[in-house]
Chains A and B, each alone.
Chain A
Amino acid sequence: MSVRSIRPFEPVVKDAAENFHGMQVVYLCWDKHLMFYAPIAKMLPPTLTFGQLIDAEITPAYSRHPDFAKIDWSAVQWSKDGEAFTPALDKSLRENGITHKTAIHFNTPGLNGINGSGF
């Protein structure tokens, strides 16, 4: 039994989707670019398209990195909660199966941080 308590206990899920005012949390991580120290958390409308995610969210979040301008977006490898996937750029986050607290990682082959140090 995973609940050990002295009286009945109904946990409150602090980060339930309904607490985010119609938005959802999405985590983004550009692998091998630890300059940004950790994956980032964004609160986004589920109707945002994947193309908009790249232009309006990923770009300002990561453009400071010298590798960013060199990214060949057609070669980027995406994963969603650890599973490889191919996003449809014109489809919404929801239509791409990106739900509340999904973690999206992306890998940019050939670009592995400053001098390949993963930074």
Chain B
Amino acid sequence: MDMPVKKKKLGLKEKYALMTRDLGWEPSYEKHEDVFPLINYEGLKIHDWEKWEDPFRLTMDSYWKYQSEKERKLYAIIDAYNQNNGHLNVTDARYINAMKVFLSAVPSLEYNAHRGFARLGRHMAGVGPQVACQMQAIDELRHAQTQIHALSNYNRFYNGFHDWKHMNDRLWYLSVPKSFFEDACTSGPFEFIIAISFSFEYVLTNLVFVPFVSGAAYNGDMGTMTFGFSAQSDEARHMTLGLEVIKFMLEQDPANLPIVQKWIDKWTWRGVRLLTIVAMMMDYMLPKRVMSWKEAWEIYFEENGMSLFKDLARYGVKVPDCVEQIKKEKNHISHQAWTTFYAAAPMTNFHTWVPSDEELDWLSEKYPETFDQYYRPRFEFFREQAEKGERFVNPNLPQLCQVCQIPMLFTEPDEPTQTAYRQSEHKGEKYHFCSDHCQHIFDDEPEKYVEAWLPVHQIMQGNCFAEGADPTSPDFNPIASVLDWWHIENGRDNGDFAGSEDEKNFAQWRGMATSNN
């Protein structure tokens, strides 16, 4: 009689090896470089792919189990939030404008991160990185989905959310995050992973998902808080992966150091420029503030981020030069960004306002070195003009930086009253930049950035008018036509919060929820 043999249960390590390393066969009838055509052209030297360890050794079966449980909890909270009209519990309807910015910009970033990591899962030549990248590709796709679902809680009630994907491709300020990711996705696989696993995860999402999402919680937005913290538990894994990747590249060959350093320098700066808008959201768009942008920056970058560089110092990695400039700019960028959006109000998909006296005092307290001297007078002027019925609007289109695509609103690091501008020439054409660091990025790869789709120039070239519009007709209104092409309804989706439909509806609905009237 045969005895049934009890199958031996595999240990985690064994299981991971079986579920991954068996995929790593050497091709016999195709050349290795034909199977993996993208791994040499960036100039990195990799001698032993086996040395790349996935720090988490997560296998697909445990991934699905773990994530589906997390997702069930997330959707339970989002549904409850939705059914209880949670949007009426936020501190103040001005807050919802921060969500408009977030949800117009971020799901597309997550989706592109998914695309990028799916590509890497195919093109990295080692099994460890292939599996880790595939896993991250799924994470990013889930993040895009949960954010889109969170968005649906708002877009039924408030203006400006109705066509976020369309706007992401077209609206001037959204070209900033979009071009960041297009720059990464058109890089080779190693630069991509530095751009995203290092810059996007360490520098960016850390500051978005921790202090900003705490701000969401503080302002009563449980839906955003829940997806933010759910995403953050994946981000911690992504950050660890990013660090492993950098170490792997540096350990493989000493010749890799200058290449890796150049990418770290570039993407630290690219990430920081993108954070300008988060700075503005934290200092101006959260009615109840958790901490100032400056404080968040000091904790999450100057302290946490710098410990990462200490860890990398033994490989010869230096702190990027741009960090000096960033230290100076932390006192300025949120104010410069908000005054820009205030003055550009007709061109946005959200509302703006002049901070209240109490808010101005909070800003003075948080920014004692700069606010009263440089920024309070701006808001006092804006308020005075608005009270006279002459709300200030800048009637002009701005010059944009060729690399980060942000209007050239930044000032010289040591002279906050002087616009910073840099210029390079390439093949007889002039190019303009907001900073030394954007200029260096261009000068290193000018052929890449001459292709930048700068919204202001595209408008001028006539590529951004509504379908069927006739720019030669006598009553053609170019601004109205561009707003139409963006799908922005003038006077409803943009302009002042005071007097907006959003303000009116929120007050009325909250009144109905809290009283008998």
Contact = CB atoms under 8 A, between A and B. Distances in A.
B123 to A, nearest CB: 11
Nearest to B417: A118
B55 interface: no
A96 interface: no
Interface in B403-459: 407-409, 411, 416-419, 421, 423, 427, 429-432, 444-448, 450-454, 456-458
A103 B450 CA distance: 17
Contacts of B417: 32, 34, 112-113, 117-119
A70 interface: no
Interface string A1-27: 011111001011111100111010101
B41 interface: yes
A103 B395 contact: no
A34 B429 CA distance: 27
Contact of A40 (B37, B398, B447): B398
A81 B397 contact: no
A3 B454 CA distance: 21
Nearest to B430: A101
Contacts of B355: none
Interface residues on A, range: 35 or more
Interface in A14-58: 14-16, 19-21, 23, 25, 27, 29, 31-32, 34-43
B397 A41 contact: yes
A89 interface: no
B473 interface: no
B45 to A, nearest CB: 15
Centre residue among B37, B38, B408 by max chain A CB count within 10 A = B408
A101 B451 CA distance: 15
A37 B343 contact: yes
Contact of B450 (A6, A11, A100): A11
Contact of B457 (A14, A32, A35): A14
B507 interface: no
A34 B344 CA distance: 13
A86 interface: no
B457 A37 contact: no
Interface residues of B, number: 55
Contact of A118 (B408, B416, B445, B452): B416
Interface string A101-119: 1110100000011110111
SS of A interface (majority) = loop
Contacts of B445: 2-4
A20 B447 contact: no
Contacts of B456: 41
Interface in B332-347: 336, 339-340, 343-344
Given A4-B41, A4-B42, A14-B451, A41 B457 contact: yes
A94 to B, nearest CB: 15
Given A6-B41, A60-B395, A38 B408 contact: yes
Contacts of B462: 21
A102 B394 CA distance: 21
A110 B436 CA distance: 29
A78 B42 CA distance: 44
Interface stretch (B319-327, B374-382, B508-516): B374-382
A101 B43 CA distance: 35
B396 interface: yes
A43 B381 CA distance: 30
Contacts of B453: 14
A38 B418 contact: no
B188 interface: yes
Given A31-B418, A101-B429, A38 B41 contact: no
B218 interface: no
B392 A118 contact: no
A34 B419 contact: yes
Nearest to B398: A38
A31 B412 CA distance: 12
Contacts of A35: 343, 378, 381, 392, 394
B423 A34 contact: no
Contact of B447 (A9, A21, A105): A9
A88 interface: no
Contacts of A115: 377
Interface in B13-49: 37-38, 41-43
Given A3-B445, A4-B41, A118-B416, A14 B398 contact: no
B460 interface: yes
B354 to A, nearest CB: 14
Nearest to B458: A14
Contacts of B230: none
Interface of B: 37-38, 41-43, 188, 336, 339-340, 343-344, 373-374, 377-378, 381, 392, 394-400, 407-409, 411, 416-419, 421, 423, 427, 429-432, 444-448, 450-454, 456-458, 460-462
21 contacts: A2-B447, A4-B43, A4-B188, A11-B448, A13-B427, A14-B457, A15-B454, A19-B461, A21-B462, A32-B418, A35-B392, A36-B394, A37-B339, A37-B343, A39-B398, A100-B429, A100-B430, A103-B421, A103-B423, A103-B432, A119-B374
Closest 3 CB pairs of A and B: A118-B417, A40-B396, A38-B398
